[in-house]
Amino acid sequence: MSTPEAPQPFPGGEHHPGESVRHTRAKGEPRFPDGPKADPAGSHFERRIRSFQPRRSRVTAGQADALQRLWAKWGLDIDGHAVDLAELFGDDRPVVLEIGFGMGEATAQMAAADPDTGILAVDVHTPGQGNLLNLADRTGLTNVRVANGDAIILLREMLPPDSLDGLRVYFPDPWPKKRHHKRRLIQPEFLDLAATRLKPGATVHCATDWEPYAEQMLEVLTAHPHFENTRADGGFAPRPEFRPLTRFEGQGLDKGHVVNDLLFRRVQHRVRPGDR
């Protein structure tokens, strides 16, 4: 779903860095009985091209412990059932949806810098889910919720209209081969759906180090009637201060890679004649 982020200096970290969990499970036994489900929306299977592929990686002891201890408190399985964001976060704070967060270091940093905003972070990478929960727990963050599963189902079936104050998509899979371009997340159909869940004035923030994908993002967002570029020149935006520069991104910049940010705004709902 997203380009994995390299580990960052952040207070806390994992309990036992590099130590993986090895456990022989009986057939049918869940990997984490009190953690995220392997296929939370299995009953909602549909023939649809997806923009992500679940990745199975080793889970460290600290990540596994966080998944077991904290999933019931801060986790959300994307199973198609409606969710009340005020109930999920415990208040009516503004909520930003982040799709794809890698190992979660940047997400944790943004949450710490803006504790009054809730971050609903979605990914299918189990080690990253555990790592973000661990970071939130060890640094005292209460404004992060980790969602497991398909963000399309979350948007389409679980979130009510006008419920989100922002959308962040950082370093999504660029699917560089031409035959795979249809798997890219930022497409007109995705923006149609996202627009129904974003409040007027909400910000859509994308970032990518794959220049052809950046150009496609800019083209698709510019052409969409429900979004407008926050840049007067209609181009890419400089990286805003609230988006941390990850080590992975810094290494790419050192090699001459170009990272492009896009900042668009959800425009006011247009009232058509006869709708009043």
pLDDT band at 255 (very low <50, low <70, confident <90, very high): confident
For residues 238-251, average pLDDT: 89
Beta bridge partners of residue 162, listed in sequence order: none
CA dihedral 7, 10, 11, 17 (to 10 degrees): 0
Q: Which domains does the chain have, with CATH numbers?
A: 42-266 (3.40.50.150)
pLDDT over 80 (residue 47): no
Q: Taking Cα atoms as reference points, which of 151, 36, 153 lies closest to residue 101?
A: 151
Q: Taking Cα atoms as reference points, which of 74, 71, 119, 122 lies closest to residue 93?
A: 119
Mean pLDDT of the chain: 85
Note whether 147 and 154 are within 8 A (CB).
Answer: yes
pLDDT tens per residue, range 98-154? 999 999 999 999 999 999 999 999 999 999 999 999 999 999 999 999 999 999 999
N-to-C CA span, the chain: 41
For residues 226-243, average pLDDT: 97
State the catalytic residues. 173
The whole-number pLDDT of residue 4 equals 43
The whole-number pLDDT of residue 73 equals 97
The whole-number pLDDT of residue 72 equals 96
Distance from C-alpha of 102 to C-alpha of 105, rounded to nearest angstrom: 8
Check residues 164 and 37 and name the one with the higher pLDDT: 164
